[in-house]
Amino acid sequence: MRNTEIHRRSVVDICEQMLRREIITGELEIGELLPPERLLAEQMRVSRLTLRSALTRLAASGLLSVRQGSGYRVQDYLVHGGPDLLDEVVELANTSPSRVRIIADLLAMRRQVARVVLERLSNPAERGDVDEVLLSIERFADAVERGAPVEEIARADLSIISAMVQATESPVYALCINPIIRVVMDLDSLRDIIYRQPEESLAGYRILQYWLQAPDPKFIGTFMLELVRRDEASVRLLARPDPIL
């Protein structure tokens, strides 16, 4: 029974992913009515129960609309979708320029959330405990000083960002930045570029470490300018035919 349920869920995942990609790539056009469930299930060689589970997920993600008696219709994911689609939007960007542009936009969005996080942390009366942030910076420093692999350094960096967001005590900030961070970290080429000189990141975190103990909102602009500089340098390297790491 357990194995059957695991297998059924995996088939649902595959079915959902196939349809999701067809919608995001435009193979299934906005406003297009999907074939009846029975026919579509036959075409995809799955059961109607499996197909229905996949369609329900896609509707919940804003990719499909459903009306009783009319079936499922493709929606504009740019209007109705959410951050959970970022992974595939980046992955399916079919040209190098569009991929770089999307990644640049992701980094820009990351900076905007970073700004509001810093603004919250600059007010001791509004923020929570920052001890975990300080400890995470020390763990990041240890990884850098040991010459740890890029993957470990990236995870250590992610733990700092997560601790900062948790210190704001704002679920809104967490829900906004988590999918962006995940996509950035999952892109090997971008991750390798971002952490090509982890000592620079560590120097910035050391400054942040001192700032958190005596925060001054006037310095947030300085932090943001440094983030812009680094992000723009990363995008330039990513745009090269053969990035030099």
The C-alpha atoms of residue 185 and residue 202 are separated, in whole angstroms, by 17
The C-alpha atoms of residue 14 and residue 124 are separated, in whole angstroms, by 47
Picking from 198, 202, 197, 159, the residue whose alpha carbon sits closest to that of residue 178 is: 159
The C-alpha atoms of residue 77 and residue 55 are separated, in whole angstroms, by 15
pLDDT for 243 equals 52
Q: Is the pTM of this model over 0.85?
A: no
Q: Are 71 and 36 in contact (CB under 8 A)?
A: yes
Instruction: List b or e across 35-66, with b for residues whose CB sees 16 or more CB atoms inside 10 angstroms.
Output: eeeeebbeebebeeebbbbbbebbbebbbbee
> Which CATH code is given to the segment(s) 2-78?
1.10.10.10
Q: Are 160 and 198 in contact (CB under 8 A)?
A: no
- Backbone φ, ψ for residue 151 (5° rounding): -60, -40
**Structural domain spans, the chain:** 2-78, 84-239
The C-alpha atoms of residue 94 and residue 55 are separated, in whole angstroms, by 25
What superfamily in CATH does domain 84-239 come from?
Answer: GntR ligand-binding domain-like (1.20.120.530)
Picking from 151, 121, 153, the residue whose alpha carbon sits closest to that of residue 137 is: 153
The C-alpha atoms of residue 208 and residue 79 are separated, in whole angstroms, by 37
- Backbone φ, ψ for residue 86 (5° rounding): -60, -40
pLDDT digit string (tens) for the chain, length 245 residues: 434 444 445 888 899 989 998 998 889 999 999 999 999 999 999 999 999 999 999 999 899 998 877 789 999 988 888 877 877 777 776 556 778 888 888 889 889 989 999 999 998 888 889 999 999 999 999 999 999 999 899 999 989 998 999 999 998 888 888 888 777 777 888 888 888 889 999 999 999 999 998 899 999 999 899 999 999 998 888 888 765 44
